[in-house]
Amino acid sequence: MSIIDLKGLLVPLGALKQIAKEPHTIKYPDQTKEISERYRGFHYNDLDLCIGCGNCSTICMNEAIDMVEVEDIEGKPGDSGLRPRIDYGRCCYCALCVDVCPSGSLSMTADFIKVSEDAFDFLMIPGKDNPGGKDKITFDASTDTSLNLFERVPMRELPPEERVQSFAEVFLGYTEEEARIEASRCITCGLCTENCPVHMHIPEYINAISRGDDEEAIRIIYDNNDLPEMCGKVCTRRCEDVCALQVRGEAVAIRWLKRYATERAENADMIRRIVNPEIREPNGIKVGIIGAGPAGLTAGYYLALKGYDITIYEAKSEPGGMIMYGIPKYRLPYDSIQKQVDYMKSIGVKIHFNTKVGKDISFDEIYNKHDAVFMGVGLQKGYTLGIEGEDAEGVWAAVDFLGLVNEGKRPDMGKRVVVVGGGDVSMDSSRVSRRLGAEVVQLYRRRIVDMPADDEEIEGALEEGVQIIEKAIPTRVIKDEKGRVKGMEYVRAELVPPEGGGRPRPVPIKGSETVIECDSIIAAIGQKADFGLLPEKVQNSLTFERGKIKVDDERRTGYPKLWAGGDAVKYGRVDAISAIADGFYAAESIDAYFMQVKA
């Protein structure tokens, strides 16, 4: 450096020219800077969209999010009724809660100012306390950016061409890796349990699967479902309807995961070893069960665990009832049922086959022999079409048809089959008919989307070449001279919304009658129960509603010491899992009853 560094003294003075320049200051609060479009400020929650799954609360490592009851919001299946409340004394504005919100209701806004002298002022229920936040949303997670995995691991299945060749199982089940990935999608919220009639511990066993503890998963599953392998294959899986992921994507494949877990136990012995249930000392109380369907088996199993002496009376030669005789083997192989029944037998459940109550043994005898009776007789009779010519040869009730096929018989259906109906049974009928080599046309009164059948089933049927004619009402069966079915006449319908609101009603369009030629007709429009086995005095003391027995919450009938469940009672829906629930809760009720008697 020279002796005097003039440059070094003068150049910095150039900074003084800034005095003349406009200041850079934003005069907050008079002036404000625009907040960017992605700003992570306070939360906003769309309370209607929110399902209260609490995933935000789980991911929050600061434990800033509480799930609390909020006025005016009632829980319902698929919505816990709780809403997140955020403690801004904890929040770090990381927005992980936004990124994991399965419904996409939670987002963050451009608001970030909250100043108070009261430290207790920083709890906020987003959406309720800042209703205006909706217009200021800046940070949200679309299905692309969300951390939830909205796409399910696809299930491997047989190609349609191969399927129709045989009764081989269509779905091949998850491999271990697939199951772990699929199980890891679950956010463990537990909303699904509410929609399950028996309230299985779904999040727990899925979590066990995702952690690799398959045996624990099996134990958890058997806690309140004794026929899980059946459920894993053919359950109506209403749990998946309310899955948190289903709001914006595909539900977790709860059914397939259950199937995966239960298939790890290859035989009854393994089930016994893994489940290793606690069996109470025999208490000498005898319970008779009519019908070895899901309801009866379940009641029997759980009562047996509680130390009761169980005898099941079954009319047919195989256990399982409707799941044995009503569900085609390509969906539920014989072994699956047998395995579980064997396991139950090992617990001590006794089953008398080929013992039809009312014929081989009277109801009174059973009632007198046992301290209590559970009745799960199911719906054995199909409804008839109720149209002209339905008495023709070749007109089948779906139950009879499926039963026959499941017994191993191959009835001659001819080349062309018409199936009437839109439920699961109709789908089974169609697909079984395809497997028997027939061309199948299915008629349904409403649209395909309105069909009560499982989407998977409809899809499978369409893939296999079943032709579905929607909005078609059968009017007449056309017979040939020998009294055999020759064809069917139907009329097209249009859907008219009823005045009071609700589901649109099909109304026939005049003059649209069409005739299709066919060799057989399968009526799959519902079943009804046959209570002929019950003596008159018992029947008189029971209440019936639409041809079904009315029971209370604990599945008690009006007749003392008689419980009932399954499809034949008017409680919940008509499916296997509801029957299991009936059996399960009836068992609890019976146990509670005898505990009370004892005490």
Select from 214, 223, 424, 454 the one that contacts another protein (CB under 8 A): 223
Question: Which lies closer to another protein via its Cβ, residue 111 or residue 390?
Answer: 111
Residue 80 CB, nearest approach to another protein (Å): 5
Say which amino acid occupies 596: Q
DSSP string, 176-208: HHHHHHHHHH-----HHHHHSTT---HHHHHHH
Residue 94 CB, nearest approach to another protein (Å): 4
Q: Taken in order 360, 364, 370, 376, is the CA torsion positive or negative?
A: positive
595 counts as binding another protein under rule CB under 8 A: no
11 counts as binding another protein under rule CB under 8 A: yes
Residue 222 CB, nearest approach to another protein (Å): 11
100 counts as binding another protein under rule CB under 8 A: yes
- Tokens representing residue 291 in the block: 């019908």
Identify which range of 64-72, 313-321, 345-353, 448-456 contacts another protein by CB under 8 A: 64-72
Select from 43, 219, 446, 471 the one that contacts another protein (CB under 8 A): 219
User: Can you tell me the distance from the alpha carbon of 436 to that of 328, in angstroms, rounded to the nearest whole number?
Assistant: 12
116 counts as binding another protein under rule CB under 8 A: yes
User: Can you tell me the distance from the alpha carbon of 240 to that of 245, in angstroms, rounded to the nearest whole number?
Assistant: 9
**Residue 503 per-residue DSSP state:** S
Contact 186, 210 (CB under 8 A): yes
How far is residue 73 from each of residues 47, 56, 68, 70, 76, measured CA to CA in Å? 9, 18, 11, 6, 9
Residues 6+ apart with CB under 8 A from 119: 89
Residues 6+ apart with CB under 8 A from 207: 183, 186, 188
442 counts as binding another protein under rule CB under 8 A: no
User: Can you tell me the distance from the alpha carbon of 105 to that of 46, in angstroms, rounded to the nearest whole number?
Assistant: 5
Hey, which residues between 556 and 575 contact another protein (CB under 8 A)? none
Question: Which lies closer to another protein via its Cβ, residue 136 or residue 381?
Answer: 136
User: Can you tell me the distance from the alpha carbon of 295 to that of 579, in angstroms, rounded to the nearest whole number?
Assistant: 5
467 counts as binding another protein under rule CB under 8 A: no
Residue 226 CB, nearest approach to another protein (Å): 15
5 counts as binding another protein under rule CB under 8 A: yes
Select from 29, 284, 386, 511 the one that contacts another protein (CB under 8 A): 29
Identify which range of 28-36, 125-133, 303-311, 324-332 contacts another protein by CB under 8 A: 28-36
Identify which range of 7-15, 434-442, 483-491, 522-530 contacts another protein by CB under 8 A: 7-15
User: Can you tell me the distance from the alpha carbon of 316 to that of 321, in angstroms, rounded to the nearest whole number?
Assistant: 8
Residue 141 CB, nearest approach to another protein (Å): 9
Contact 287, 303 (CB under 8 A): yes
Question: Which lies closer to another protein via its Cβ, residue 137 or residue 448?
Answer: 137
Residue 558 CB, nearest approach to another protein (Å): 22
Site string for another protein, 278-317 (x = CB under 8 A): ----------------------------------------
- Give the DSSP H/E element, type plus range, for residue 398: helix 398-406
Identify which range of 2-10, 162-170, 477-485, 535-543 contacts another protein by CB under 8 A: 2-10
**Residue 260 per-residue DSSP state:** H
Closest CA to 436 of 330, 565, 508: 330
- Tokens representing residue 225 in the block: 């479902």
**468 burial via Cβ count (<10 Å: 0-12, 13-18, 19+):** buried
Question: Which lies closer to another protein via its Cβ, residue 224 or residue 429?
Answer: 224
Select from 47, 49, 73, 122 the one that contacts another protein (CB under 8 A): 122
Residue 9 CB, nearest approach to another protein (Å): 5
367 counts as binding another protein under rule CB under 8 A: no
184 counts as binding another protein under rule CB under 8 A: yes
How far is residue 277 from each of residues 122, 273, 303, 307, measured CA to CA in Å? 49, 9, 12, 12
How far is residue 225 from each of residues 173, 296, 334, 435, 582, measured CA to CA in Å? 20, 12, 19, 31, 11
207 counts as binding another protein under rule CB under 8 A: yes
338 counts as binding another protein under rule CB under 8 A: no
Select from 47, 49, 73, 93 the one that contacts another protein (CB under 8 A): 93
Question: Which lies closer to another protein via its Cβ, residue 18 or residue 540?
Answer: 18
72 counts as binding another protein under rule CB under 8 A: no
201 counts as binding another protein under rule CB under 8 A: yes
- Give the DSSP H/E element, type plus range, for residue 478: strand 472-479
Question: Which lies closer to another protein via its Cβ, residue 213 or residue 250?
Answer: 213
Select from 126, 133, 203, 328 the one that contacts another protein (CB under 8 A): 203
Q: How many residues bind another protein (CB under 8 A)?
A: 108
Say which amino acid occupies 326: G
Site string for another protein, 141-180 (x = CB under 8 A): ----x-xxx-------------------------------
464 counts as binding another protein under rule CB under 8 A: no
507 counts as binding another protein under rule CB under 8 A: no
Question: Which lies closer to another protein via its Cβ, residue 151 or residue 365?
Answer: 151
185 counts as binding another protein under rule CB under 8 A: yes
User: Can you tell me the distance from the alpha carbon of 530 to that of 507, in angstroms, rounded to the nearest whole number?
Assistant: 32
Identify which range of 66-74, 374-382, 392-400, 447-455 contacts another protein by CB under 8 A: 66-74
- Tokens representing residue 480 in the block: 């040939």
Displacement of CA 57 from its chain's centroid (Å): 25
Report helix, strand or coil for 67. strand
User: Can you tell me the distance from the alpha carbon of 108 to that of 43, in angstroms, rounded to the nearest whole number?
Assistant: 4
Contact 242, 194 (CB under 8 A): yes
